[in-house]
């Protein structure tokens, strides 16, 4: 295991005091600092918390905000739950795939975009909803999707979601 990885894990474990009950927070923080979690991350966390690897892997693979593979510079998480679907989610789904040229679950060849699904984002009243990085965008239409993506392409990022 490399020195940077060891340092990241040490910092996060220290922050939570090697508390098994903080497993989700530990994995989330590691994911945020490393970009994604590797087998080395999971093995080290399991060892330091005294948990079976299978339990750590199960938690890491369950939560959509934790990634076990490298993601793009910008990550789109599209809500696939019923309220968003009823509000026109299928049309937005198709628009996102067409605009980015990739299916859900993939990253663009240039590493700029990852397109993922997620369960409820918690903004059902303004569905369909997606997150781009940490910003939530609601009341989506195909036109709004194009405008949002253009802002990220033109400026690298934006401030404030549209909810």
Burial of 128 (0-12, 13-18, 19+ CB in 10 A): buried
For residue 4, the SS3 value is: helix
pTM: 0.77
Q: What are phi and psi of 132, to 5 degrees?
A: -115, 115
pLDDT value at residue 161: 55
pLDDT of residue 163: 46
Could you tell me how far CA 160 lies from the centroid of its own chain?
18
155 or 64: which leads in pLDDT: 64
pLDDT digits (tens, 9 = 90+) for 119-130: 888 898 999 999
Task: Kindly give, in sequence order, each residue whose CB lies less than 8 Å from that of residue 139, ignoring residues fewer than 6 positions away.
Answer: 126, 127, 128, 162, 163
Select, from the ranges 2-11, 42-51, 152-161, the one with the highest average predicted confidence (pLDDT): 42-51
Q: What is the pLDDT of residues 12-26, one digit of tens each?
A: 999 998 889 999 999
Interatomic CA distance for residues 20 and 88, integer angstroms: 41
90: left (phi over 0), alpha (psi -120 to 50) or beta: alpha
Mean pLDDT of the chain: 90
> Torsions phi, psi of 79, nearest 5?
-70, 125
Q: What is the DSSP letter of 104?
A: T
Per-residue pLDDT tens over the stretch 85-131: 888 899 999 999 999 999 999 999 999 999 999 888 889 899 999 99
In this prediction, residue 158 has a pLDDT band, given cuts at 50, 70 and 90, of low
């Amino acid at each position: 295991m490399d020195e940077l990885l060891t340092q990241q894990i040490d910092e996060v474990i220290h922050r939570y005091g090697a508390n098994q009950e903080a497993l989700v927070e530990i994995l989330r923080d590691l994911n945020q600092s490393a970009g994604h979690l590797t087998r080395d991350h999971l093995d080290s966390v399991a060892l330091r918390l005294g948990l079976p690897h299978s339990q750590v892997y199960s938690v890491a693979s369950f939560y959509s905000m934790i990634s076990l593979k490298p993601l793009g510079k910008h990550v789109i998480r599209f809500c696939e739950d019923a309220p968003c679907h009823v509000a026109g989610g299928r049309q937005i789904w198709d628009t996102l795939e067409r605009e980015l040229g990739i299916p859900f679950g993939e990253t663009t060849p240039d590493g700029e975009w990852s397109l993922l699904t997620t369960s409820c984002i918690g903004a059902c009243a303004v569905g369909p909803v997606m997150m781009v990085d940490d910003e939530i965008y609601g009341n989506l239409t195909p036109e709004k999707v194009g405008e949002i993506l253009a802002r990220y392409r033109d400026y690298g990022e934006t401030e404030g979601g549209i909810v």
